[in-house]
Amino acid sequence: MKIEVLGMGCAKCNKLEENVRQAVKELGLKAEIDHVRDLAEIAKRGVMITPGLVIDGKPVSAGNVLSIEKVKELLQARQ
């Protein structure tokens, strides 16, 4: 599973990354987690509002800091 957190590195983007990492850990998943900070790359993924979350190439959230529980729900739905 490949997970991308999209955002320039603001507090909200960093919090989303932290929540994603914790959710992956709690679920015991093997996942590659990247934080994409380049605006052009973020736009290529179809996200115009950060923070954004992409799982296996599919944007699943934009403009929200998802809770650990919500991230876990999204990850479990993608398995």
Its pTM stands at 0.94
Domains belonging to the chain, first-starting first, are 2-78 (3.40.30.10)
Q: Would residue 21 show up in a list of annotated catalytic residues for this protein? A: no
Q: Would residue 35 show up in a list of annotated catalytic residues for this protein? A: no
CA dihedral 10, 36, 68, 24 (to 10 degrees): -150
Q: How many residues does the chain have?
A: 79
Catalytic residue among 1, 9, 10, 27: 10
Averaged pLDDT, 21-43: 96
Q: What is the pLDDT of residue 79?
A: 76
